[in-house]
Amino acid sequence: MGFGPDGSKQLDENNVGVAHVPKGKRARFDFYAHASWENAACIYEGSSDQMITDPRGNEGRSLDSFTTLVNTTGRDQFFKVTGWHKTGSYYGQRPWIQSRMSNTPSGDYTFAFHFEDQHDLGGEDFQDLQVGVIVF
Protein backbone atom coordinates (compact mmCIF):
# COMPACT_ATOMS: atom_id res chain seq x y z
CA MET A 1 0.00 0.00 0.00
CA GLY A 2 1.26 3.45 -0.84
CA PHE A 3 0.72 6.90 0.60
CA GLY A 4 0.11 10.41 -0.70
CA PRO A 5 -2.73 11.77 -2.81
CA ASP A 6 -2.00 9.26 -5.57
CA GLY A 7 -1.34 6.32 -3.20
CA SER A 8 2.09 5.60 -4.69
CA LYS A 9 4.61 7.01 -2.22
CA GLN A 10 6.58 5.71 0.74
CA LEU A 11 6.01 7.43 4.08
CA ASP A 12 8.70 9.33 5.96
CA GLU A 13 7.55 8.73 9.54
CA ASN A 14 9.61 11.73 10.72
CA ASN A 15 7.10 13.99 8.93
CA VAL A 16 3.88 12.33 10.08
CA GLY A 17 1.64 13.91 12.69
CA VAL A 18 -0.38 11.64 14.98
CA ALA A 19 -3.79 12.62 16.35
CA HIS A 20 -4.86 10.55 19.35
CA VAL A 21 -8.64 10.06 19.82
CA PRO A 22 -9.70 8.34 23.08
CA LYS A 23 -12.59 5.90 23.12
CA GLY A 24 -15.95 7.66 23.32
CA LYS A 25 -14.58 10.77 21.54
CA ARG A 26 -14.32 11.95 17.96
CA ALA A 27 -12.10 14.36 16.05
CA ARG A 28 -12.68 17.27 13.69
CA PHE A 29 -9.92 17.97 11.19
CA ASP A 30 -9.73 21.56 9.85
CA PHE A 31 -7.62 22.37 6.80
CA TYR A 32 -5.89 25.58 5.70
CA ALA A 33 -3.71 26.22 2.64
CA HIS A 34 -1.55 29.26 2.00
CA ALA A 35 0.72 28.11 -0.81
CA SER A 36 1.56 28.95 -4.39
CA TRP A 37 2.41 25.35 -5.15
CA GLU A 38 0.00 22.42 -5.18
CA ASN A 39 -0.44 21.03 -1.62
CA ALA A 40 -2.64 18.28 -0.17
CA ALA A 41 -3.21 16.69 3.24
CA CYS A 42 -3.96 12.99 3.61
CA ILE A 43 -5.36 11.46 6.82
CA TYR A 44 -4.95 7.74 7.56
CA GLU A 45 -6.43 5.48 10.21
CA GLY A 46 -3.37 4.55 12.25
CA SER A 47 -3.75 0.78 12.57
CA SER A 48 -4.77 0.06 8.96
CA ASP A 49 -3.10 2.94 7.07
CA GLN A 50 -6.36 3.40 5.14
CA MET A 51 -7.03 6.97 3.96
CA ILE A 52 -10.19 8.09 5.77
CA THR A 53 -11.22 11.00 3.51
CA ASP A 54 -10.32 12.46 0.15
CA PRO A 55 -7.12 14.53 0.20
CA ARG A 56 -7.72 18.13 1.28
CA GLY A 57 -5.80 21.09 -0.07
CA ASN A 58 -5.52 23.80 -2.70
CA GLU A 59 -5.62 23.70 -6.53
CA GLY A 60 -9.23 22.54 -6.77
CA ARG A 61 -9.28 20.30 -3.71
CA SER A 62 -11.70 20.90 -0.87
CA LEU A 63 -10.56 22.51 2.36
CA ASP A 64 -13.80 21.48 4.09
CA SER A 65 -13.49 20.15 7.63
CA PHE A 66 -13.85 16.44 8.23
CA THR A 67 -15.26 14.89 11.43
CA THR A 68 -14.77 11.25 12.39
CA LEU A 69 -17.49 9.11 13.91
CA VAL A 70 -17.48 8.66 17.68
CA ASN A 71 -14.79 6.15 18.60
CA THR A 72 -16.77 3.08 19.69
CA THR A 73 -13.90 0.61 19.16
CA GLY A 74 -13.31 0.15 22.89
CA ARG A 75 -9.71 1.36 22.47
CA ASP A 76 -7.97 4.59 21.63
CA GLN A 77 -7.66 5.45 17.94
CA PHE A 78 -4.74 7.10 16.18
CA PHE A 79 -4.83 9.01 12.91
CA LYS A 80 -1.77 9.78 10.79
CA VAL A 81 -1.72 13.29 9.35
CA THR A 82 0.50 13.84 6.30
CA GLY A 83 1.21 16.77 3.99
CA TRP A 84 2.28 16.56 0.33
CA HIS A 85 3.26 19.02 -2.37
CA LYS A 86 4.32 19.30 -5.99
CA THR A 87 7.05 21.61 -7.23
CA GLY A 88 4.74 24.08 -8.92
CA SER A 89 1.12 24.95 -9.47
CA TYR A 90 -1.22 22.25 -10.67
CA TYR A 91 0.67 19.93 -12.98
CA GLY A 92 -0.80 16.46 -13.11
CA GLN A 93 2.45 14.81 -14.22
CA ARG A 94 4.70 16.21 -11.47
CA PRO A 95 5.38 13.78 -8.59
CA TRP A 96 4.06 14.27 -5.07
CA ILE A 97 6.70 14.97 -2.42
CA GLN A 98 6.05 14.50 1.29
CA SER A 99 6.24 17.88 3.03
CA ARG A 100 8.24 18.57 6.16
CA MET A 101 6.05 18.87 9.26
CA SER A 102 6.07 20.92 12.44
CA ASN A 103 3.83 19.95 15.35
CA THR A 104 3.16 23.29 17.00
CA PRO A 105 0.33 24.05 19.45
CA SER A 106 -2.14 26.47 17.92
CA GLY A 107 -5.16 28.16 19.52
CA ASP A 108 -7.99 25.86 20.54
CA TYR A 109 -6.68 22.85 18.63
CA THR A 110 -5.85 19.65 20.48
CA PHE A 111 -3.26 18.92 17.78
CA ALA A 112 -1.88 21.28 15.12
CA PHE A 113 0.26 20.12 12.22
CA HIS A 114 1.99 22.61 9.91
CA PHE A 115 3.56 21.59 6.60
CA GLU A 116 6.29 23.24 4.50
CA ASP A 117 6.78 22.94 0.72
CA GLN A 118 9.96 25.08 0.76
CA HIS A 119 8.73 27.34 -2.07
CA ASP A 120 8.45 30.61 -0.14
CA LEU A 121 11.40 32.80 0.79
CA GLY A 122 13.45 30.94 3.37
CA GLY A 123 11.21 27.88 3.20
CA GLU A 124 10.73 27.71 6.94
CA ASP A 125 7.36 29.30 7.74
CA PHE A 126 5.42 25.99 7.91
CA GLN A 127 2.26 27.77 6.70
CA ASP A 128 1.82 26.20 3.29
CA LEU A 129 -0.63 23.60 4.55
CA GLN A 130 -2.04 23.33 8.07
CA VAL A 131 -4.24 20.73 9.74
CA GLY A 132 -5.85 21.53 13.06
CA VAL A 133 -7.52 18.75 15.07
CA ILE A 134 -10.09 19.19 17.83
CA VAL A 135 -10.93 16.10 19.89
CA PHE A 136 -14.34 16.28 21.55
80-112 pLDDT tens trace: 999 999 986 666 688 999 999 999 877 789 999
For 24, 32, 53, the CA distances from 127, given in Å and listed in that order, are 32, 9, 22
pLDDT at 62 over 90: yes
85 DSSP β-pair partners:
39, 97
Of the listed ranges 23-27, 28-32, 35-39, the least confidently predicted one is 35-39
CATH, domain 13-135, list 2.40.110.10, 2.60.120.400, 1.20.1090.10, 2.60.40.1240: 2.60.120.400
Q: Beta strand 27-33 with 129-135: parallel, antiparallel or unpaired?
A: antiparallel
What is the SS3 assignment for 127?
coil
Residue 15 sits at φ, ψ, to 5 deg, of -120, 35
* Closest to 30 measured CA to CA, from 107, 125, 98, 112: 112
Q: Beta strand 39-45 with 97-98: parallel, antiparallel or unpaired?
A: unpaired
Average pLDDT over residues 31-35: 92
DSSP state of 95: P
* Closest to 111 measured CA to CA, from 34, 41, 8, 10: 41
Average pLDDT over residues 66-73: 97
* Closest to 32 measured CA to CA, from 106, 124, 110: 106
